[in-house]
Amino acid sequence: MSRRSKKNTRDRRSKESSSQSRLRIIGGKYGGRQIQYSGDQRTRPMKNRVREAMFNLVGPWVKGTYTIDLFAGTGAVGLESVSRGSVGATLIEKHFPTSRIINDNIRSLGLESMVEVVSGDAFHWLDHRMETQFHPPANTPWTMFFCPPYDFFLDRQDEMLRMIETMMNRAPVGSHVIVESDTRFSADLLPLAGQWDIRPYPPAVLMLLHRFNQQAGEESRGAG
């Protein structure tokens, strides 16, 4: 490889890395505000185009709801939801350096009273901490985001499905669910299969359930 080719490759990688470490809130009260991101790919940030497409769909849903992001990563999804009218949010992230950065972003936006960051494993939180430590506003529907590493839908599929179903069972009537996977996972495996709105944004797939009523869904399956 020539020196020029090597230089062009380095420049391209530098630009890609710089782009990955810059995130912004797309819409709502804090639209356009930059948020910090370490660039660590372990957090697998949702691509800006996917996040924008998702909130074009669910932006009106989040108003007046309480947001829960089980795999918060950069925190961009939860902060975007609050920017668009969610009354508050709980963001769960097990990578401690990333959790600290999310807290820095919360402080920079002045959202300390609205957004809580839980530093820990989402599966452990669900089983051991949620029922005693999670206190969202009463009688407020939830908007729940499940955007884990894509491999979780293969390597930890049973755990993921149990998590989604448990959260849906605990959520108030009228809540919303957003799941992000890739094409290796089938929405037919989700609770209330057949009721989800499936939107492909290759390689991502968004699965959306709007104002679900778990009891009504169970009754409709039994009637079938």
State pLDDT tens for residues 185-212.
999 999 999 999 999 999 999 999 999 8
Residue 111, C-beta contacts closer than 8 angstroms, at least 6 positions apart: 79, 82
**Block residue for tokens 């769909």:** 57
Terminal CA-to-CA distance of the chain, rounded, Å? 64
Could you give phi then psi for residue 23, rounded to 5 degrees? -125, 150
Of the pLDDT bands very low, low, confident and very high (cuts 50, 70, 90), residue 49 is confident
**pTM recorded for the entire structure:** 0.85
Helix segments in the chain, DSSP class H: 3-20, 48-62, 76-83, 96-109, 122-124, 130-133, 152-155, 157-170, 214-223
Q: Are 74 and 62 in contact (CB under 8 A)?
A: no
Dig out the tokens for 20 from the structure. Answer: 């990955």
49: CATH: 3.40.50.150
CA distance 150 to 155: 9
Number of domains in the chain: 1
CA distance 55 to 135: 25
**Block residue for tokens 């709105």:** 197
Residue ranges making up the domain that contains 137: 3-223
Nearest Cα to 182, choosing from 202, 197, 160, 199? 202
Report whether pLDDT(18) > 90.
no
Report whether pLDDT(214) > 90.
no
Q: Please report the pLDDT score of residue 163 as a whole number.
A: 98
pLDDT in tens, 117-139: 999 999 999 999 999 999 999 99
**Block residue for tokens 């005693």:** 132
Report whether pLDDT(151) > 80.
yes
Dig out the tokens for 214 from the structure. Answer: 């778990």
Q: Please report the pLDDT score of residue 15 as a whole number.
A: 43
Average pLDDT over residues 67-87: 97
Q: Please report the pLDDT score of residue 53 as a whole number.
A: 93
Nearest Cα to 107, choosing from 47, 165, 35, 163? 35
